[in-house]
Amino acid sequence: MLFRQLFDAETSTYTYLLADEATREAALIDPVLEQVERDLKLVSELGLKLVLVLETHVHADHITGAGVLREKTGATVVASGQGAPCVDRKVVHGDVVRLGGLEVKVLETPGHTDDSLSFLCEGRLFTGDALLIRATGRTDFQNGDPGQLYDSITGHLFTLPDETGVYPGHDYAGHAMSTIGEEKRHNPRLAGKSRDAFITFMKNRQIPPPKRLDVAVPANRACGRVVEPPQAQA
Ligand SMILES: [Fe+2]
């Protein structure tokens, strides 16, 4: 598998490029609108064809590049049916999305948002904002639920092999990747913590909302394409 990790410094967002080296078919996970030209240039330079855009969830902190990439390349946008109505293929837990000869397994990991998915491909786990490195996504908007997030992480992600690579949707501390075993041992919100302790910790956090929450969520429900309000009928 051809693999690249890309970063948007403005929003600390990771975008991932996966491709089948034989068929040259490529997928982008969680592209950022402002980085679409960078991503398309890389796809072109590597001799790839973008066929899939995978979204882990409806983001609140940046606008997705999914809609623009779909227009420019014809790629299929894949996400949960619980989230944005604009997606082409709505997937559920256990679905397999094919990328050439590669298989991307879909895991429903709600709790950060109700539509959150993780994707597993060839030993790499793309966790969106469910499991971050030494942290987790927040649970205080978009139908977030700390108990549900605890269950998603401990019930689905932490049951994967310890050596599984963890590739999150964001990092704010300079980390690029981790492993399931490392997070089980060292994630301060989860290692040795009960479900009740996790819920209490998450509910007691006092953090400001993301700066672009009011703009990003409506835009992302339209795959990042800003929809003009309909003209009033004469
Ligand atoms: Fe998020």
| pLDDT at 225 (0 to 100) | 85
| pLDDT tens digit sequence for 35-81 | 999 999 999 999 999 999 999 999 999 999 999 999 999 999 999 99
| pLDDT tens digit sequence for 27-42 | 999 999 999 999 999 9
Report the predicted TM-score, pTM, of the whole model to 2 decimal places: 0.95
| pLDDT at 121 (0 to 100) | 98
Q: Percent of the chain, pLDDT > 70? A: 96
Going by the DSSP 8-state scheme, the letter that residue 185 receives in this structure is: H
The CA 51 to ligand 1 mean position distance, Å, reads: 24
Q: Percent of the chain, pLDDT > 90? A: 92
- Angle (CA) 229-210-150 rounded to 5° is 115
Q: Which residue pairs from 178-182 have beta carbons closer than 8 angstroms and sit at least 24 positions apart in sequence?
A: 178/133, 178/134, 180/125
- Give the separation between CA 50 and CA 108, rounded to whole angstroms: 24
The CA 130 to ligand 1 mean position distance, Å, reads: 8
The amino acid present at 171, given as its one-letter code, is D
- Give the separation between CA 143 and CA 114, rounded to whole angstroms: 6
Going by the DSSP 8-state scheme, the letter that residue 65 receives in this structure is: S
Q: Give the right CATH number for 2-208 from 3.30.465.10, 1.10.3720.10, 3.30.450.20, 3.60.15.10.
A: 3.60.15.10
The CA 144 to ligand 1 mean position distance, Å, reads: 10
User: What tokens appear for 32 in the block?
Assistant: 């950022």
The CA 47 to ligand 1 mean position distance, Å, reads: 31
Determine contact, residues 153/109, Cβ cutoff 8 Å.
yes
- Cβ neighbours, 10 Å, residue 28: 30
User: What tokens appear for 232 in the block?
Assistant: 């009033």
The CA 138 to ligand 1 mean position distance, Å, reads: 8
The CA 104 to ligand 1 mean position distance, Å, reads: 21
| pLDDT tens digit sequence for 160-179 | 999 999 999 999 999 999 99
The CA 137 to ligand 1 mean position distance, Å, reads: 7
> Domain ranges in the chain?
2-208
The amino acid present at 54, given as its one-letter code, is L
